[in-house]
A and B are shown apart, each in its own frame.
Chain A
Amino acid sequence: MLTDCTDEQLLKQALAGNEEAFTALYRRRQGPIFRFALHMSGSTQIAEEVTQDVFMFLLQRGHDFDPQRGVVAAYLFGVARNYVRRALERNYPESVLSSPIEDQVDALVVECDPTEGMVRHQTSTAVWKAVLSLPEHYREVVVLCDLQGMSYADAAETVHCAIGTVRSRLHRAHDMLGKKLQHSAAVSPAIPNVTARCMS
């Protein structure tokens, strides 16, 4: 029954004291919020803290949400964006670029070809580090549009800017990522490293 409800309906019921509605809303939206914080910070701990803070904020200030200004998901991403920024200011640079996610990612993926899996792992890790090294306003549009699959319009609503700004930032971020990946590939080519790891 609750699975058919919209986010706004679930939020309304949750604020009225319905625990099941709150649980349903949390389970529906915690994954994207967690991944957004994880992609932005590179730290599982920060991502969990941000996820908890976002939904605590929703409990305490959920009545401030105005459906005329946007959807609940964009509202949550906007709150998460602020908490991620605070967490990064507090913990930077210990959290960023540490990539503790790699172990969790490996645990989730089952590769048929181990060599191909290693190459994918290295490629995604290189992309991951390149994304984390981007400036924050470029990083967030890459995370929102490329990694979260959000539309330009939703991303613009989340970061509170025009759609054209999102497009131009994304275009510029892709250029920067291409250069970073090219540089990292020149420094450490993927295949020889994989061979060396397999031999060892």
Chain B
Amino acid sequence: MTCREFKHSAASYSMWELSRSQDEQVLGHAESCESCGSWLRKQRTLAVSMQTLQARTAGLEAGANVERALLRAFRQDTLQGSNVVPMGVKERSGSLRPAATPLSTPVALKLSRFFEVGAYVALAAAILVSVFLGVRILRNNSNAPQVQSQIAPSSVEPLPQKPVTAVQNAVASDLSHGQPASAPRERTPRSSVKEVATATSTVTNDDAQSLAEVDYTPLMFCDPLSCDADTQVVRVELPAGANGQSSQPQEADLVVGYDGVVRAARIVN
């Protein structure tokens, strides 16, 4: 036996796979060849060490917690029925694969659930949008009469065109005297004026007549296009001390144009 044949056979020798005659040949060559004998001794030592390690670890097992966790999972799976093969299902070619593979079901199930959830979400979004729009429309409808009533409450009668024209003339005459528009604005700043919707009062013809006699303070320059249009006199209540003189609330008449801009104002005694 050559050294090459010895190395080839030695692995099988360590696994006790060779016959007795081959063993004798291997051992004979190991006795005659020093290097091969040394190699065989190392392999024997290694085999003994392996057997020792195998014997020392032979009793090792997984902890009881692993078995408990697995049994818990098994019971859950059994309750859910996801992995349970129904009894009596015929196997195909002796395989344990169930007739209906449970792996293909979840994909379709997930897709159908996805679309189902998506449909519910879309429906809920549509309901929310419609409710929101409906509330807004209702609010707009309910606010419109209120605004109308604030602008022209039923108790307020629009002033006759003539007195208003007189007021406009008075305003125009004041403007023609060169009074700056900012001066009265300082006197009655808008921020200090608290409008009271209910403070609007009924203006009679007599009152309108008296309007022409009382000077209104113009609050803006009037051009013919804007000041010739319809105006309305609204009485508001000023908070106490708004003009810096009286501690009692005072009333004021405002000449309001069609665009909502106050043309002139006066303090009611």
Contacts and interface: CB of A to CB of B under 8 A. Distances in A.
Interface of A: 8, 11-12, 14-17, 19, 22-23, 26-27, 30-31, 33-35, 38-39, 47-48, 51-52, 55-56, 59-60, 62-68, 101, 104-105, 108-109, 120, 123-124, 126-128, 131, 142, 145-147, 149, 167, 170-171, 174, 177-178, 181-182
Contacts of A105: 56-57, 60
A66 B97 contact: yes
A126 B52 CA distance: 11
B101 to A, nearest CB: 7
A15 B56 contact: no
Contacts, number: 142
Interface of B: 11, 14-15, 39, 42-43, 45-47, 49-50, 52-54, 56-63, 65-67, 69-71, 73-75, 77-78, 83-87, 93-98, 101-102
A124 B98 contact: no
Interface majority SS on B: helix, strand, loop or mixed? Answer: helix
A4 to B, nearest CB: 19
B205 to A, nearest CB: 96
A124 B53 contact: yes
Closest CB pairs A-B (n = 5): A127-B49, A124-B53, A51-B62, A34-B62, A178-B42
B14 to A, nearest CB: 7
A11 B78 contact: no
B96 A147 contact: no
Contacts of B97: 63-64, 66
A51 B62 CA distance: 7
A35 B60 contact: yes
B115 to A, nearest CB: 26
14 contacts: A14-B74, A15-B98, A22-B71, A23-B71, A34-B60, A52-B62, A56-B73, A105-B57, A124-B56, A146-B54, A147-B53, A178-B42, A181-B46, A182-B42
A26 B96 contact: no
Nearest to B14: A174
